[in-house]
């Protein structure tokens, strides 16, 4: 396996850090911290460049909050200048790992995404009798730091780049508690091993992809599953052979144990595709694709919040148009013509 060196000079180039700042501010350029950074843009970039060159760079503290949907998730927001550094690193690192991914992993990849994943899932579901759907239990909080570093070192040998990656991993803030035991553990092992990546970081997203990439190859190449796809930690195997999928689940659980991960005992199920399979907010049946009720409920709450924010002058019509256009485009991937007519025909925005 080829390992890459001499990457750090590319990461700390002024032009790369400038490009990173442009990516980091996308959709956020009018926020106070971004405006403040951009006011002295050249100076700020030079300061980051110098800290990275001298290795005096130290990640700042995270701002955390809980996102409450169906379940509560801890979201961690890194300081803006750290997000610029994350983009500078990812600009150089992601293309290296991108070449190692299978074609059917869809999260956080240019040209992939939810809609392409849903189309692939639908094709598999409508041409196969059974599906094994799996979900990793508390995935981001469970990612083991030492194992992650070992995986990254299989492709990266540049010591300076590894120093920066380790800085980002080691300065991850405390995540939701996870206590899982695996063969060889003693009573204190789950507490002593550092684990958990902050949801919200660009670096966490691509590290999460890397962490399960080996499992993708195991399923495709060792288990010989031709119909398989993954989106972050949600993955599905399709086959007309029920026993084959039942055995595959056991083999996958054994493989994931090496990564100190466990499959969710309730969300992971093996069943006939004709009963409908849920994926990325939709429920795929043989003849129709429906929006899941809980996703529809959340969307209605977001629309109500948009109406309230517009009434108070917090957002303008352009923001509303962009949001509605995005959601409408998402709904079009299901059989939702009547639903869209019902929702959008009665939608009214007024100022107080």
pLDDT of residue 221: 98
Residue 294: band (very low, low, confident or very high) from pLDDT cuts 50, 70, 90: confident
> Is residue 100 helix, strand or coil?
coil
Backbone angles phi, psi at 30, to 5 degrees: -100, 5
pTM for the full predicted model? 0.85
For residue 349, pLDDT over 70 is answered with yes
Label residue 201 by pLDDT band (50, 70, 90): very high
Chain segment 125-165, per-residue pLDDT in tens: 999 999 999 999 999 999 999 999 999 999 999 999 999 99
The predicted pLDDT at position 71 comes to 61
Rounded to 5 degrees, φ, ψ at 148 are: -60, -45
Identify the weakest region by mean pLDDT among 72-81, 129-138, 316-325, 335-344.
335-344
Dump pLDDT digits (tens) for 220-231.
999 999 999 999
113: region left, alpha or beta (phi > 0 left; psi from -120 to 50 alpha): left
Q: 340: pLDDT confidence band, cut at 50, 70 and 90? A: low
Tokens, residue 263: 């499959």
Q: How far apart are CA 302 and CA 267, in angstroms?
A: 26
The structure tokens listed for 98 are 């991108």
Residue 171 has pLDDT above 60, yes or no: yes
Question: Which is nearest to 327 in space by CA: 75, 114, 122?
Answer: 114
User: Residue range 161-182: average pLDDT?
Assistant: 94
Q: What angle do CA 163, 169, 174 make, to 5 degrees?
A: 150
- Backbone φ and ψ for 281, nearest 5 degrees, come out as 90, -5
Is pLDDT at 16 greater than 90 in this prediction?
yes
Q: Which of 143-152, 201-210, 328-337 shows the lowest per-residue confidence on average (mean pLDDT)?
A: 328-337
Q: How confident is the model at residue 352 (pLDDT cuts 50, 70, 90)?
A: low
Which sequence spans correspond to the domains of the chain?
292-345
Q: Give pLDDT tens digits for 100-114.
A: 999 999 999 999 999
| b/e code 301-324 from CB counts within 10 Å (16+ = b) | eebeebeeebeeeebeeeebeeeb
- For residue 178, CA distances in Å to 147, 261, 275, 318 come to 16, 10, 33, 42
Six-digit token string for 127 = 């041409």
Q: Rounded mean pLDDT of the chain?
A: 90
């Amino acid at each position: 396996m080829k390992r890459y060196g001499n990457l750090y000079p590319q990461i700390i180039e002024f032009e790369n850090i400038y490009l990173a700042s442009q990516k980091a501010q996308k959709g956020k350029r009018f926020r106070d911290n971004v405006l403040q950074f951009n006011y002295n843009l050249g100076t700020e970039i030079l300061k980051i460049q110098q800290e990275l060159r001298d290795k005096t760079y130290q990640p700042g503290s995270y701002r955390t909050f809980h996102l409450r949907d169906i379940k509560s998730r801890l979201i961690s927001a890194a300081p803006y200048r750290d997000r610029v550094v994350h983009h500078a690193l990812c600009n150089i690192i992601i293309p290296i790992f991108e070449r190692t991914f299978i074609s059917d992993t869809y999260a956080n990849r240019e040209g992939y995404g939810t809609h392409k994943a849903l189309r692939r899932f639908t094709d598999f579901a409508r041409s196969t009798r059974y599906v094994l759907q799996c979900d990793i239990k508390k995935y981001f909080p469970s990612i083991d730091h030492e194992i992650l570093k070992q995986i990254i070192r299989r492709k990266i040998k540049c010591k300076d780049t590894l120093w920066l990656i380790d800085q980002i991993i080691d300065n991850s803030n405390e995540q939701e508690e996870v206590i899982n035991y695996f063969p060889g553990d003693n009573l204190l092992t789950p507490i002593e091993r550092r684990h958990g990546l902050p949801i919200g970081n660009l670096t966490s997203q691509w590290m999460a992809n890397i962490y399960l990439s080996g499992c993708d190859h195991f399923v495709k190449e060792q288990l010989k599953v031709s119909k398989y796809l993954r989106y972050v930690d949600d993955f599905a195997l399709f086959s007309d052979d029920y026993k084959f999928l039942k055995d595959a689940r056991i083999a996958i659980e054994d493989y994931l144990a090496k990564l100190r991960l466990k499959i969710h005992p309730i969300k992971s199920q093996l069943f006939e595709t004709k009963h409908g399979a849920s994926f990325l907010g939709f429920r795929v049946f043989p003849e129709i694709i429906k929006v899941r009720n809980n996703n529809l409920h959340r969307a209605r709450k977001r629309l109500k919040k948009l109406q309230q924010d517009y009434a108070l002058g917090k957002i303008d019509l352009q923001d509303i148009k962009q949001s509605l256009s995005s959601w409408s485009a998402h709904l079009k991937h299901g059989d939702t013509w009547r639903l869209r007519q019902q929702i959008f025909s009665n939608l009214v925005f007024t100022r107080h």
